[in-house]
Amino acid sequence: MSRFDVAVIGGGMVGAAVAIGFAKQGRRVAVVEGLAPRPFSAEQAMDIRVSAISEHSVSVLASLGAWQNIAQMRVCPYRRLETWEHPECRTRFHSDALNLERLGYIVENQVIQLGLWQQFESWPEIERFCPDTLDDIEFGEINQLTLSSGATLEADLVVGADGANSKVRTLAGIGVTAWDYRQHCMLINVETELAQQDITWQQFTPSGPRSFLPLSSLERNGHMVGQGSLVWYDSPKRIKQLSAMTPEQLRQEVLTHFPRELGDIHVLQHGSFPLTRRHAQTYAKQRCVLVGDAAHTINPLAGQGVNLGFKDVEALLAVCEGKGVISQPMLAKYQRQRRPDNLLMQTGMDVFYKGFSNDIAPLKLARNAALKLAEHSPLKTQVLKYALGL
């Protein structure tokens, strides 16, 4: 049986980051992951899953040595953000207002994960168990883990970085508060006729938001072609209908229902998922601790999910700094630091989402007036700073 200081269950973006962080502290780390990220090729299709990476998350990734790997693959910086319901009532954000070169980057999830996995090679303290998954945990002063392959591990601490349906969370007996938004989200990767690679925008409609996130341009026949990720919120029935369409049928629906800012498009690929909010009732129990989606899932409205996960990583590593045994008071401190912030962001996104997802005339008038006022409010900069983790 192999002995580790930390066993990280889940080698996605957040799990890989926390593994490197603990290795940097001199701890022996096991990473259990079902599927390794595939090697990068500039010709490969864009991942359907992308994240809006804040400048704060960039600094976390840079401190782990992974950002340079990521930046050498594909990233799309953006400087502007706009949100509106009525076209004349917009709130606009610009990096110049914060004296920043950019607000952040849109990056494919698989590129972020691969950039972190490439960094594993620098840390002999990390041992990968892949492809493999967690089967069971026998709890004690030292937790004993059984993997699906039959391998057994001992770990002083188990980190659940295994996503929204976390096995670690379930085995540790940690409950969740959850509810279904009764909406699905469709992601559509497209080529764009218009060059708009420095802006991400969002329009609210009664059936849900429509969003555009810029992706890296590609070269075709000597010309640069813009790409983007479209986000379409709607009822499960409507999203199912859209998912069954041909690319040309879907293109026509997009051109009909997205704002004119988009211009003409060519559909490349698409996928969809249901929207569910979850929050673990505690972040630590039985020498297990939760990070990222295992601890909290958030409405993806503003692309803040993975940024919250990287904040979890930063806070957990900070309270565990040093080479001593990771104690329960350390984990309690981590929870005190992160749970209120995650709850605030979850609630804020819900208020925003529900406030705009209806067609009640007085409320519609009030929220458009609020967006117009927000455009000239000094609070706008403070809200932006908070969202960027500054």
Distance between first and last Cα of the chain: 44
Q: How many CB atoms lie within 10 A of CB 282?
A: 17
Strands 152-160 and 296-297: unpaired
User: Under the phi-then-psi rule, with left for phi > 0, alpha for psi from -120 to 50, and beta for the rest, what region is 137?
Assistant: beta
CA 180-166-130 angle, to 5 degrees, is 135
Q: Are 322 and 25 in contact (CB under 8 A)?
A: yes
Residue-wise pLDDT tens digits, 56-83: 999 999 999 999 999 999 999 999 999 8
pTM exceeding the 0.85 threshold for the entire prediction = yes
Q: What is the pLDDT of residues 343-359, one digit of tens each?
A: 988 777 666 555 555 55
Residue 154 CA to residue 143 CA, distance in Å, equals 6
CA dihedral 89, 95, 96, 99 (to 10 degrees): 140
Averaged in consecutive runs of 10 residues, what is the pLDDT profile of the chain (390 residues)? Answer: 95 98 97 97 91 94 98 95 82 85 94 98 98 98 97 98 97 91 91 89 88 87 85 95 98 96 95 91 98 89 81 97 88 97 79 55 47 49 57
Strand partners, 76: 106
